[in-house]
Structure 1
């Protein structure tokens, strides 16, 4: 069928009631849409079948990961233009659900839908890409299920992560002095900021929950002389971290465990850092998480909880994780508004002393990771798979835009297990962390 791009553009604009913001190039080499705009390339009609059998974000994600869909031109500009149609439908200008239903009832739209079926070809659903985690049944956030979820995300190869993250091997928001700073300097500054907020001193005992590849405990032991325990659920991360620690000559100060925070029984600790880990905890377990960390601290001990937050929604009970994120990136992960996080820490007994919002810093961090991935694309695809590399490119680029557009944020919450009669041991001046 000739001019597939023109036919698809017409159908999309009929349904949306607005001009399509990107150009389309179809598998028959036909093109349609605004000149000079980023181009959505439909490499195979199989992409249409994916959307027909799984409308919405998951169908698009499957087509992207499989390589049936691609983008030519600036990826960020394309995602920014498409955000209002795909990721921000609830508050974006455009047709309401009722308007869409009315549109689909119109004879010309029904005719266009039949045409879409013809364009899609074979009336069978394509198999999901191998990188997709199939939907699982049973209760969320059991010890076994959390370990499997962490393995899906992190056990894709230390060499792959080294390409994306750079030498620091820090997989969380960096702390930028300026956009011109290097990623390495920004990650070092973030680690040092956390150590200063925790008021670390030589001889203290630090617990790093979700220690990743060991960067936080290495910095704390090397620069502040603490004795540190790092825990992770990823076997690959733990092996990598132990090797780094041995090479640094710090094995006498640092222990790395493959262990869940619910399984620690050798408290107390003087300080706890939890950086980019609480997003995995889940709303049903967060009270237990906060209570567990409180119980592991000495009176007067500090917690630094570094956590991504989402914006509040009208119906919090209706909140659900995006299907692309759940199936391809962070299985069972959940974000909460920062107010809820602060409230639950306080309910566990903590005194919250400081909240620092650093969402612009995460946008800069993600753009640096995308740049690293694109620079080493062939090697990254070889180390994992082309589909996995495509997952990460889309996920990180879209996340950068979400931080820039204030769709999500990230906050460092400093809390204290304040002893009786109430001296938290904090300096009088705000953010003079060491007094």
Structure 2
């Protein structure tokens, strides 16, 4: 078709010889040109009876017969193309193509077709597997992470490098995991705190029950005694004729009951939410004042006192409460020490901490009893019974006051007796800086 278009630019066939030669070399095909009557005009007899169409092929033309390849190699096909020269003359270009090469190529293709199909099938399987792995791998990972989340394990994280819907789902799953992990941790912390609070409340409730049970027991005994005295005197029971003596005994029982009731009222206030006013006081002066209040008790038991107290030593305390704690410790030390023993008191300041010590000699407390000394109505020695005149609440009140001041405190045995100690932070008064 391209040759036919080129020949429209020429007036006769002879002028197209170069194009025809080039066509023969390029296509390696047998061709000829017929006029309108069907006669072959190219190649013609004037040139030769034989025409070399190609380097390796010689063709002989017969004017009365169609052009035939003298040595056909296989089935051929002939196509005809109309040509109109520049001068208007029409011709027909016939091109005869040998199909042997095509047949050989087709035969080769048919022989290798099963192998090609097999390779294509295997390649398709490989591509399908790779594509499936690429698509399902993040889905499998998401499924694994979601299963861990269902088991309340939020340690796994999804790969968020993808930007498609699976990547968005992975990011959302990571955010959900982080939120659930935080919420679960907060819930566990709250549960632990709630459990601690419940246990603490239960312990406090148990302590209240035990306290009021002990208080009832402590009040029951003097009430029974008092009731017996009054009933004996009213009914004229033998032995109760001396009303004055039993009235005095009854007064003593009432005094003890009054003292116990006051201690109970103080404890109830200490367990409440009463407002405390903390201020800077001279703790050394507080000790000296309380020592003066127990002088009569010391003389009564013929005990001596050794005090090592500085002139001034300041700390921030609730003065009334601290005075009561020190008084209870002093009275307790004097009551539970034998007559003629020594009471040692020391107060010092070391590295910003005030340490107070009160030691009563001549007595020891069993190691098993020391942890219970600050419990309400606890008595380490049953032989003491109630002859000391105590209510069993002295050290319990001391414990409450020390806890109120966030102070360190304790009781321990020494080589000579029993030592009570406490520690408070020291505070420099403002007057010293003026």
TM-score by length of 1: 0.21
Give 1 or 2 for the bigger CA radius of gyration: 2
* Higher share in helix: 2
TM-score by length of 2: 0.21
